[in-house]
């Protein structure tokens, strides 16, 4: 579901404190939430992390800007929650990327290619999680979730030029962190599991 398709009255009710309306909005983005939390957490902890992201969103609901995509706003909060998890003492072991349902599309590829693809995906997405907040959210939302730079700019209440500058700065940091694989296509790693625009029902 694209943000434009979300009933504006439902968003207003959620922001006003209607918990049922808010839960319904979060449900439309469950696949995006799951992809984000699984980039840093194993299956046993992903559900708790997803719930933490939803609680944070609920507490911060009045900070939502009505001219920005609501699902992008939710995803940014989930990205920041995932970053905090990755940097906290709660994360006690190395967590590999959990495959999404769309990875079935790659079922016919050679095993070595599958391993290499997942390893690149894991490394790139965890490197994104280690970026400073102003670079982390724009890069995740633009490259992985597919939002335009203009949509990300509206979300942050800044100019598109500012967002573009943050993305470029983030890409430079990624290049420094992933020097050994940068020429193999790090942006391909960011987009490795392309999703349809918006949330699936």
The structure's pTM equals: 0.62
| pLDDT given at position 197 | 34
Distance between CA atoms of 193 and 189, rounded to whole angstroms? 8
pLDDT in tens, 142-155: 888 888 999 999 88
User: What SS3 class is residue 124?
Assistant: helix
Task: Give the Å distances, CA to CA, from 99 to 16, 72, 133.
Answer: 36, 22, 25
How many residues would you count in the chain? Answer: 201
Instruction: Locate 9 and state its tokens.
Output: 């009255």
8 A C-beta contact, residue 114 and residue 106:
yes
| pLDDT given at position 59 | 92
Q: Flag whether pLDDT at 164 surpasses 70.
A: yes
pLDDT in tens, 72-95: 999 899 888 888 877 764 443 333
| pLDDT given at position 198 | 34
Q: Flag whether pLDDT at 28 surpasses 50.
A: yes
Q: Which string of DSSP letters, residue by residue, matches 152-182? A: HHHHHTS-HHHHHHHHHHHHHHHHHHTHHHH
> What are the chain's domains?
3-190 (1.10.1740.10)
């Amino acid at each position: 579901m694209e943000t434009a398709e979300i009933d504006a009255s439902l968003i207003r009710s959620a922001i006003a404190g209607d918990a049922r309306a808010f839960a319904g909005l979060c449900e439309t983005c469950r696949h995006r939430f799951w992809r984000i939390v699984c980039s840093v957490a194993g299956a046993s902890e992903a559900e708790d992390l997803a719930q933490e992201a939803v609680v944070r969103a609920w507490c911060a609901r009045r900070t939502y800007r009505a001219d920005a995509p609501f699902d992008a706003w939710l995803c940014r909060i989930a990205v920041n929650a995932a970053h905090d998890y990755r940097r906290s003492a709660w994360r006690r072991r190395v967590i590999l990327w959990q495959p999404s349902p769309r990875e079935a599309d790659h079922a016919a590829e050679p095993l070595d290619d599958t391993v290499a693809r997942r390893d690149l995906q894991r490394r790139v997405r965890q490197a994104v999680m280690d970026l400073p907040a102003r670079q982390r959210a724009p890069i995740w939302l633009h490259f992985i979730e597919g939002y335009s730079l203009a949509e990300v700019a509206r979300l942050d209440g800044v100019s598109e030029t500012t967002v573009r500058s943050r993305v470029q700065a983030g890409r430079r940091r990624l290049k420094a962190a992933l020097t050994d694989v940068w020429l193999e296509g790090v942006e391909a790693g960011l987009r490795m599991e392309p999703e349809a625009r918006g949330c699936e029902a």
